[in-house]
Amino acid sequence: MFVVVYFESFLQRSGRIIVKTHNRYFILIAALLMILGFVQPVYADSPNIGVSPNPPVQELGTRGVYPPHQIFGPVKDINNGSYSFAGSLPGTVYTEYRFKGKRTYMVHMSQITQPLEITVYKYNSFNNATQIARYNLSASGASFSFGTSSTNDEIYLSFASYYNCDFSGYVY
**Is residue 141 within 8 Å of 41, Cβ to Cβ?**
no
Q: Where are the domains of the chain?
A: 1-43, 51-171
Note the pLDDT of residue 115.
94
Note the pLDDT of residue 43.
36
Sign of the CA dihedral with 32 first, then 37, 39, and 40 last: positive
Backbone torsions φ then ψ of 153, nearest 5 degrees = -65, 135
Q: What is the pLDDT along the chain (172 residues), one digit of tens a residue?
A: 554 455 556 556 655 555 566 667 767 676 665 665 554 443 334 566 777 777 766 444 433 333 233 445 678 889 888 899 999 999 999 888 888 999 999 999 999 999 999 999 998 766 678 899 999 999 999 999 999 999 999 899 999 999 999 999 999 9
Q: Which CATH class is domain 51-171?
A: mainly beta
Cα gap 73→103, rounded to integer Å: 21
Q: pTM for the complete prediction?
A: 0.63
